[in-house]
Structures are given as C-alpha cells and as structure tokens.
Amino acid sequence: MRRSSFVQQNSLDRRTPDSSMNPVTFIHITDTHIGPTADYSRHGFASEPALVRMTRAIESFPVRPDFVVHTGDIVTDPDPRSYERAARLLADLSVPIYFVNGNHDAAHYVHEYLTTGPRIDWQSDPGRLAYEFEVRGERFVVLDGRGPDEIDPHGILPAEQLERVREICRTPGPPITFFIHFPLFPLNSPWFDRNMLLLNGEELHAAFLPASGRIRGVFFGHVHQSMQMTRDGITYTSAPSTFAQFRVLPVREESLDNPSYPPGFNLVQCMPGYTIVQQHVVPRS
C-alpha cells in the first residue's frame, strides 16, 4: 500500500486527558456501492471484490483502529439483498463500525441489516441515522443529510439536527469529530458544485464555528476522491471510494470517472492538540 498524509493543527482543548500514548485512531471508508449480486459493477469496476480486498487490508494493517467509519453510499440501490451482502462483507472487520446515511442509502435498512458500534441515537425515527458516541473522552457525531428524492444527489440537513449541532458547539466540552455524507461547500468543479452539495452547508458550517478550536475535523464521502478543505480553522476531509474514483477538477469534463486512481481509505489519528490524516491505497487485484 502507498500512502500520503497531511496534518491538521488547531487549538484543541488541552484540558482533556493526554492521549499521546494512546491516541484515538479510526479508519475512514466510504462509497462502497455494494449491489444485489457478487458481480455487480459500477463505473467500470466490481464493487464487492474491492470491498473484500479493503477489509483484508484493514484487518492486516499494522495499526489497529478503535473503529471504522463508513460515510455513506453503502449500497447503490437501497434493497434488502444489497444490504445483506454489505453486512456479510463488513462483518469481516473485527472493530466497531459506524455508518453514515448516503444519498443511495435508506436509513431504515441500515438500522435493520447493519450492526453499528455503541452509540446514543438522536431520535427514534428509523428513517434517520443521526447519533453520537464517545471513545476515551473524544466525542464523535454522525449527521444524516439524506434529502428528499427530488433534490438527489444534493443533501440537506434537517432543522432539528442543525439545532442540535448548534447546542453542542455552543457548550464547552471535549474534542469533537463530525461525519456526514455530503460536502458542505463548492469544490470548484462544475458538475459537483451543481449537483452534489449539502444545500444548507453554509448554515452547518456557521453552527460549527463556536467550537472551531476543538473540532478534530468534518469527514465526508460522496465525491469518490480524497480532498481536504480548510475554512475558519475547520478542516473538511473526504476519503477515496473503496472501489472507483471521480475526477474533481476545476474544469468541465466529458467523464467524471478516474480509472487510474486506486481504491483507498484514510487513517485518522487524534493526537493531543492536532489530528493526523493519512491516505492509504489498495491494489485493484
């Protein structure tokens, strides 16, 4: 595996326990797009064999993470057969896994078919997937920006979740990490900016600002590419898809597919006062 890395630094609350000897570590995967059959393919690649290679790579990785987070589009079409296949494949991971609702997902099927690590749900509605969990004094929040079908593939965060974020960020507390499927801001890429954003991303970013000094990062998927954006001291990071990547460039392109870029995942280490994100790629065969 090859890797690249960047370091996010900010003024995280240093009153929290020193984790230098045992930092909270997680792996970020996204956009697995599992289908109803083993040979299902999309963007020119079969998604299931790629996920098998990815889980093996994570299991054999020299660093054992505290958990894995999947930032959405677990399947392509939200049907029971696809979620059953995804559940079997992801069961090979020996650490807790947390799921974000993508625009291709259905939260009620995620609740029904997939096993999530210990968490506190924000609501009892099976049609939503918003919750939080804690690992060694670090707070992690999963947001559900899945919108109505008529705005797909855009997303929108419901008002009640937005208000909950405002409350969390106004209240002093430990370092926080947020997960959502959609990018909040334009990516300076014509097709993506026209089709793929969280429509109230500016409002969500404004809700984060009171806690900017203790936000580890905001991690997202959807764009099938590794990207980093920093705004007002908050770093937004996407991971590559586990099987097929897009081109996200400031030009109009005939095709969004980027077949030369391999599958990958991000390793995130929550160090005292800063966060390390390293991208690792997995061979296609």
Percent of the chain clearing pLDDT 90 (strictly above): 89
The number of distinct structural domains making up the chain is: 1
Helix (H, G, I), strand (E, B) or coil at 7: strand
pLDDT averaged over every residue in the chain: 93
Beta-bridge mates of residue 253:
none
**Which of 15-24, 140-149, 167-176, 218-227 is the least confident region?**
15-24
Quote the tokens at residue 269.
Answer: 């280490």
User: How does strand 97-99 pair with strand 67-70?
Assistant: parallel
* Residue from 59, 133, 65, 136 nearest 98 by CA: 133
> 151-185 pLDDT, tens per residue?
999 999 999 999 999 999 999 999 999 999 999 99
**Confidence bin at 20 (pLDDT 50/70/90):** low
CA 215 to mean position of chain CA atoms? 15
**Confidence bin at 255 (pLDDT 50/70/90):** confident
**Confidence bin at 4 (pLDDT 50/70/90):** very low
Give the orientation angle of helix 201-208 with respect to helix 159-170, to 10 degrees.
Answer: 20
Give the orientation angle of helix 80-90 with respect to helix 47-59, to 10 degrees.
Answer: 30
- What's the order of all strands across the beta sheet hosting 264-271? 3-9, 274-281, 264-271, 24-29, 67-70, 97-99
Task: Please tell me the total number of residues recorded for the chain in this structure.
Answer: 285
Domain at 170, CATH number = 3.60.21.10
pLDDT at 28: 98
b/e burial code for range 140-162 (CB count within 10 A of at least 16 → b)? bbbbbbbbeeeeebbbbbbeebb
- How many Cβ atoms are within 10 Å of 209's Cβ, its own excluded? 16
**Confidence bin at 254 (pLDDT 50/70/90):** confident
**Dist. CA 165–CA 179, nearest whole Å:** 12
Q: What is the CA radius of gyration of the chain?
A: 17
pLDDT at 284: 87
Q: Mean pLDDT over residues 65-71, rounded?
A: 98
Domain hosting residue 157, numbered range: 3-281
